[in-house]
Amino acid sequence: MIFSSDNWAGAHPLIAESLVKAAPGFAPAYGTSPLDRRVEAMLAEVFEREVAVFFVGTGTAANSLAFASVTRPGGHVFCHREAHVNSDECGAPEFFSLGARMAPVDGAFGKMDPERLEAEIKRFPPGFVHAGQPMAVTLTQATEAGTVYTLDEISAISEIAQRYSLPLHMDGARFANALVALDATPAEMTWKRGVDILSFGGTKNGCWCAEALILFDPSKTGDMPYLRKRSAQLFSKTRFVSAQLEAYLDKDLWLDLARHANAMAKRMADGIADSNSARLAWPSNANELFVILKTSNAEALKEKGALFYPWPVPHALAGTLAADEGLYRLVTSFATEPGDVDAFLEGCRSA
């Protein structure tokens, strides 16, 4: 009953096999092999347009390099208050963008409120040098709260970003989970809705260690090759990242894996909705659930072998939990079995 994180899950067998296949022989290094070029072409097909692709090893690297590529002196990146870039990346976005700061924006359950976003941007009027200047907007899809921006919600954020001439970045660590939840195409959820830069995640959804930074206007790559090299993310044997992504994208494996993870989360959510000892803190759209349990029940579940994390109560829920209750995050993955979910639900009933 491992629901700690989708990062705890291993690699899908087909992706592990791709690494074995790529191991023998020789290939040009630093992202110039035929396999690298083949995966770049696959991503262009996936997104229905020419794209610039930069393979990296972590989502934090992808996010940080995205901001580094658009950095401005005194720059501010507008993000949700509880976004990963603001809360969980140890200052890497600020470090790689040479001191840019995260400007937190509130909104219910992980999603920036457009009106609050615009109000926050207006706090930095042009010409007021002391405040710094707006630099970019970033949204997380799926969010850190397990919710998903609808296509119209992405457009609303994009329209504001465009009004202030700010590039729009999407942190897609759980991109596939959001995509299948919306039943949209990759193009519809990104550049067709005004997204300029995407951190395309594979690690949480069956890859070993594979992420890609995707720019939807290849003419704007600028210094990105140098930024990636300087950040130690230009792997000499990039083909091993590409091998993973080739298997990941082939025959829509990535979408199948995300559908399974989301289905396991729905199975869990349905069971919790029928439970007398647990309740959902809010509805989830992807593979993360946030559950309110009595702390004694949470400990009893852990003693039965369930692994999951306590979670900080977001601003929107402040003061709503009883003194003996806690908020906990449960994450399903491509490797979650129905029996794992059912065992947890049975543990809830007997806790």
Which pLDDT tens digit goes with each residue over 260-293?
999 999 999 999 988 888 999 999 999 999 999 9
Question: Whole-angstrom Cα distance, residue 231 to residue 206?
Answer: 25
Residue 168 has pLDDT above 90, yes or no: yes
Model pLDDT, residue 315? 75
**CA-CA-CA-CA dihedral for 48, 53, 57, 58, to nearest 10:** -60
Phi, psi at 139, each rounded to 5°: -125, 150
Question: Whole-angstrom Cα distance, residue 69 to residue 66?
Answer: 5
Residue 318 has pLDDT above 80, yes or no: no
DSSP string, 158-225: HHHHHHTT--EEEEETTHHHHHHHHT--TTTTTGGGT--EEEEE-GGGT-SS-EEEEES-GGG-TTHH
Neighbours of 92 (CB within 10 A): 18
- Four-residue CA torsion sign, 136, 142, 144, 147: positive
Q: Averaged over 318-323, what is the pLDDT?
A: 83
Question: Whole-angstrom Cα distance, residue 57 to residue 69?
Answer: 17
Model pLDDT, residue 295? 93
Joined together, the tokens standing for residue 171 give 């942190």
Question: Whole-angstrom Cα distance, residue 346 to residue 22?
Answer: 43
Query: Which residue type occupies 128?
Result: F
- First-to-final CA distance of the chain: 15
> How do strand 101-105 and strand 133-140 relate by DSSP bridges?
unpaired
pLDDT in tens, 113-157: 999 999 999 999 998 999 999 999 999 999 999 999 999 999 999
Model pLDDT, residue 343? 95
Residues in the chain: 351
Asked whether 206 and 37 are in contact (CB, 8 A), the reply is: no
Q: Averaged over 334-348, what is the pLDDT?
A: 95
Q: Averaged over 193-206, what is the pLDDT?
A: 98
Q: For the chain, what is the radius of gyration of the CA atoms?
A: 21
Q: Averaged over 61-72, what is the pLDDT?
A: 97
Residue 189 has pLDDT above 90, yes or no: yes
Q: For the packed helices 239-249 and 34-47, what is the interaxial angle rounded to 10 degrees? A: 40
Asked whether 113 and 103 are in contact (CB, 8 A), the reply is: no
Question: Who contacts 233 (Cβ-Cβ below 8 Å, separation ≥6)?
Answer: 54, 56, 57, 61, 65
pLDDT in tens, 209-249: 999 999 999 999 999 999 999 999 999 999 999 999 999 99
Angle at 140 between CA 246 and CA 294, to 5 degrees: 110
> How do strand 75-80 and strand 211-215 relate by DSSP bridges?
unpaired
Model pLDDT, residue 173? 98
Question: Who contacts 222 (Cβ-Cβ below 8 Å, separation ≥6)?
Answer: 69
* 307 band by pLDDT with thresholds 50, 70 and 90: very high
pLDDT in tens, 13-58: 999 999 999 999 999 999 999 999 999 999 999 999 999 999 999 9
Model pLDDT, residue 29? 97
pLDDT in tens, 76-111: 999 999 999 999 999 999 999 999 999 999 999 999
* 351 band by pLDDT with thresholds 50, 70 and 90: low
